[in-house]
């Protein structure tokens, strides 16, 4: 054999996905990314993503699961978990005792949540106090256009939905930063301290009501919110109002090959697994699609992946088809579909380039996440990695390897460990992201498209 032949047969040589993308795939990719961008424009919170998924699922023939119902192969059901997360399934022709093929993504993203008593006035400017949600670099959230999304549960039990800052006719909201002229002290601080949590106060207005007494600007804002949403100050306690970057998903670059949006992590994988699920008709194995909440703060709480809502849903599926839950879990496979850090040449020193995902190299498979000696990671087995590699290979999915930065540089986690704790074989894979957790994150269209193909391959695989 020549050296060239040896190199070809023995060494792995990752290639940019564009080198193998067919003309037909390119057209599909562009169409897919238009649909994805529309989803992103409509969904900035887990609640909005859940509403969107319920509406689209019902159009596709999915029905809300009812305990005690009988299910047949080909049936499509979903569980709306209190408007904050959703699990969907297409029943397969094989028994659930043989396991399910699961894709699990999350639809919450880092942001600024309002405190329970948020409204105040200082120096005749009205503000909301916030508490950030998830891992953000606080300085990135100042001096950018912001929108407010969420719900308010009023004293009479009625719920009002809030979404303001996205339409051209809407006002936006704003967190100020210090002018450079006076920032001599601030500029000497670390990036972690330059803007602190208690400075993430959102500007709401400045015009005082006519009259006497204190806080006339605050009173004006409360009056406007009362007229628009029928709420009083006490209603903030029973509200979930959240401040997110305003604006739409946009193409990036002269070649338009990238997409910038708020919250690609992890709605980019959520959309991929949802659209792939909608294309299934009569799969052999039952396909389950999870859009979880609270991943950014540890998958805790009733809508997070550690909640028993998933087990209850799967128990309902097993009861409806005469299977056993523990047998089902034991034979299931889960793709923990979450984003990875795309290699960024601006910060090359933070990554091991040989083991990092890269823009346009396809869906990124991550054997382990965690930090400091894989702490907190699920760490997929050789067999699990073999299964995913074979599945993607046979389906023609362009894939690559991912790890989360250099050893001891930092780390993170996904829902993978909570799926694996249930005795479900689980592997992480997803879309590489530039500037993850920034107000605007960037992904490549090719990687988005390949991740959808990857989810579809997982649903259809033998296991
Ligand atoms: Mn994520
Ligand atoms: Mn994240």
Give tens-digit pLDDT for 443-456: 999 999 999 999 99
Confidence label for 314 from pLDDT (cuts 50, 70 and 90): very high
Task: Tell whether 311 and 449 lie within a shared domain.
Answer: yes
Distance 134 CA to ligand 1 centre (A): 10
Domain assignment of residue 256, yes or no: no
Angle at 312 between CA 309 and CA 318, to 5 degrees: 145
Distance 215 CA to ligand 2 centre (A): 38
Angle (deg, nearest 10), helices 382-395 and 445-460: 110
What span, in angstroms and rounded, lies between the C-alpha atoms of 245 and 355?
32
pLDDT at 386: 97
- Tokens matching residue 397: 């999915």
From 217, 245, 273, give the residue that closes a domain.
Answer: 245
Q: Whole-angstrom distance between the N-terminal and C-terminal Cα of the chain? A: 37
Q: What is the pLDDT of residues 426-436, one digit of tens each?
A: 999 999 999 99
Distance 441 CA to ligand 2 centre (A): 11
Mean pLDDT of the chain: 97
Distance 92 CA to ligand 1 centre (A): 28
Task: Tell whether 199 and 277 lie within a shared domain.
Answer: no
Chain centre distance of CA 336 = 12
Distance 338 CA to ligand 1 centre (A): 5
Please check the confidence at residue 142 and state whether its pLDDT lies above 90. yes
**Nearest ligand, measured from the Cα of 428:** 1
Task: Tell whether 366 and 219 lie within a shared domain.
Answer: no
Domain assignment of residue 255, yes or no: no
The number of domains in the chain is 2
**Cβ atoms 97, 323 nearer than 8 A:** yes
Domain assignment of residue 251, yes or no: no
Q: What is the pLDDT of residues 381-430, one digit of tens each?
A: 999 999 999 999 999 999 999 999 999 998 889 999 999 999 999 999 99
Domain assignment of residue 315, yes or no: yes
Distance 294 CA to ligand 2 centre (A): 10
What span, in angstroms and rounded, lies between the C-alpha atoms of 41 and 52?
11
In whole angstroms, how far apart are CA 182 and each of 21, 185, 188, 390, 445?
A: 52, 8, 12, 59, 42
Task: Tell whether 291 and 437 lie within a shared domain.
Answer: yes
Distance 383 CA to ligand 1 centre (A): 24
Neighbours of 182 (CB within 10 A): 8
Task: Tell whether 103 and 118 lie within a shared domain.
Answer: no
Q: What is the mean pLDDT of residues 100-128?
A: 98
Task: Tell whether 44 and 177 lie within a shared domain.
Answer: no
Confidence label for 92 from pLDDT (cuts 50, 70 and 90): very high
- Tokens matching residue 410: 């930092």
Q: What is the mean pLDDT of residues 249-276?
A: 98
Domain assignment of residue 10, yes or no: yes
**Nearest ligand, measured from the Cα of 437:** 2
For residue 239, the domain's CATH number is 2.30.250.10
pLDDT at 398: 98
Q: What is the mean pLDDT of residues 21-46?
A: 98
Distance 219 CA to ligand 2 centre (A): 37
- Tokens matching residue 78: 């979903």
Task: Tell whether 217 and 307 lie within a shared domain.
Answer: no
Distance 106 CA to ligand 1 centre (A): 7
Domain assignment of residue 254, yes or no: no
Domain assignment of residue 58, yes or no: yes
In whole angstroms, how far apart are CA 233 and each of 161, 217, 223, 224, 301?
A: 16, 14, 10, 12, 26
pLDDT at 376: 87
pLDDT > 70 in the chain, percent? 100
Task: Tell whether 206 and 153 lie within a shared domain.
Answer: yes
Distance 446 CA to ligand 1 centre (A): 19
Task: Tell whether 306 and 196 lie within a shared domain.
Answer: no
Q: Which conformational region is residue 388 in: left (phi greater than 0), alpha (psi within -120 to 50 degrees), or beta? A: alpha
Please check the confidence at residue 105 and state whether its pLDDT lies above 90. yes
Angle at 273 between CA 379 and CA 296, to 5 degrees: 55
Q: What is the pLDDT of residues 347-388, one digit of tens each?
A: 999 999 999 999 999 999 999 998 888 988 889 999 999 999
Distance 220 CA to ligand 2 centre (A): 37
Task: Tell whether 176 and 218 lie within a shared domain.
Answer: yes
Distance 429 CA to ligand 2 centre (A): 13
Distance 108 CA to ligand 1 centre (A): 8
Q: What is the mean pLDDT of residues 13-26?
A: 96
Q: 436 by DSSP, 3-state: which?
A: coil
Distance 238 CA to ligand 2 centre (A): 26
Task: Tell whether 266 and 306 lie within a shared domain.
Answer: yes
Distance 414 CA to ligand 2 centre (A): 8
Domain that holds residue 138: 112-245
From 212, 245, 278, give the residue that closes a domain.
Answer: 245
For residue 398, the domain's CATH number is 3.40.630.10
Task: Tell whether 37 and 72 lie within a shared domain.
Answer: yes
Domain assignment of residue 89, yes or no: yes
């Amino acid at each position: 054999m020549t050296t060239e032949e040896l190199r070809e047969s023995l060494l792995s040589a990752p290639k940019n996905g564009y080198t193998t993308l067919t003309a037909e795939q390119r057209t599909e990719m562009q169409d897919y990314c238009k649909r994805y961008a529309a989803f992103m424009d409509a969904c900035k919170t887990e609640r909005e993503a859940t509403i969107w998924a319920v509406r689209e699922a019902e159009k596709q023939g999915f029905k809300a699961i009812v305990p005690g119902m009988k299910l047949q192969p080909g049936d499509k059901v979903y569980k709306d978990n209190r408007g904050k997360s959703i699990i969907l399934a297409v029943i397969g022709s094989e028994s659930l005792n043989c396991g399910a093929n699961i894709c699990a993504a999350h639809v919450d993203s880092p942001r600024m949540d309002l405190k329970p008593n948020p409204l105040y006035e200082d120096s005749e400017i009205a503000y909301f106090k916030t508490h950030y949600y998830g891992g953000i670099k606080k300085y990135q959230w100042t001096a950018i256009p912001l929108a407010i999304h969420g719900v308010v549960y009023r004293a009479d039990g009625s719920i009002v939905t809030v979404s303001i800052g996205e339409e051209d006719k809407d006002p936006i909201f704003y967190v100020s930063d210090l002018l450079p002229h006076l920032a001599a002290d601030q500029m000497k601080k670390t990036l972690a301290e330059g803007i602190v949590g208690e400075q993430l106060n959102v500007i709401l207005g400045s015009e005082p009501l006519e009259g006497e007494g204190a806080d006339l600007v605050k009173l004006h804002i409360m009056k406007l919110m009362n007229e628009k949403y029928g709420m009083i100050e006490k209603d903030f306690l029973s509200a979930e109002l959240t401040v997110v970057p305003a604006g739409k998903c946009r193409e990036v670059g002269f070649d338009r090959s990238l997409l910038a949006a708020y919250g690609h992590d992890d709605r980019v994988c959520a959309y991929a697994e949802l659209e792939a699920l909608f294309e299934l008709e009569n799969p052999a194995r039952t396909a389950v699609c999870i859009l979880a909440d609270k991943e950014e703060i540890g998958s805790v709480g009733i809508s997070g992946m550690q909640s028993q809502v998933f087990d209850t849903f799967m128990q309902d599926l097993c009861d409806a088809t005469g299977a056993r839950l523990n047998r089902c879990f034991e034979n299931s496979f889960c793709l923990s579909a979450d984003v990875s850090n795309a290699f960024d040449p601006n910060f090359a020193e933070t990554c091991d380039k040989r083991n990092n995902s890269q823009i346009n190299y396809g869906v990124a498979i991550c054997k382990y996440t965690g930090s400091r000696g894989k702490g907190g990671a699920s760490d997929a087995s050789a067999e699990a990695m073999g299964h995913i590699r074979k599945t993607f290979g046979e389906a023609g999915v362009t894939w690559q390897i991912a790890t989360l930065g250099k050893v001891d540089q930092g780390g993170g986690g996904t829902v993978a460990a909570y799926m694996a704790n249930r005795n479900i074989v689980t592997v992480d894979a997803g879309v590489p992201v530039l500037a993850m957790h920034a107000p605007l994150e960037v992904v490549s269209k090719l990687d988005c498209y390949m991740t959808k193909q990857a989810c579809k391959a997982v649903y259809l695989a033998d296991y």
